[in-house]
Structure 1
């Protein structure tokens, strides 16, 4: 998320996710990626969770992207089940999949998918 700043490239985010996860001994799925979000739920650009720094589209203020890695304890390889929805690791090891929606702002990234805003507005009634 700290790489989601104006003037950087999408590959800076992708590389950060991959290098952090792999440095901890995990693998990063290649077939599932994050995405842009705006008037539709899934828009361009695709946001891979692996890649090279300095590559890809330039991040501009006002962009909103979803960073959503699938991180595996074993191999990065996955299988898609016949139901068209279920994805599992081929080696059947544990995996985690999560998402954050980020707005690229001049003052830095703004996490839109946290509960902080609700807590600010609703106080103790948030949850």
Structure 2
């Protein structure tokens, strides 16, 4: 999570996260639904923020003491406030690999940040050629 510099239209980092799903064929649908409800509750998200430094998905959880007391959550809160939901496109999962490859090259001294950013952008343009 990092702030993205403002462009010609606006500023906003892409945002996404973990999803919870319930298998429609589950023999324990009621228990599954109760678990999802519990994990997405304000109190559970505040607890996870306080103990694991996870960013809550519920705005109201940021006001809870556990989240307020988390230095990490506090640091990233302004970034979350300007974040833009990551689009739900089939290529979404493919966007992580070029970034992983290039930042590894930067960290191991195989390339510069500027070259890595260009290479990542080139990969993204190929992956997203049908999305304009």
TM range (shorter): under 0.3
**How does the TM-score come out when normalised to structure 1?**
0.22
Which has the larger share of helix?
2
Larger Rg: 2
What is the TM-score of this pair, normalised by structure 2? 0.22
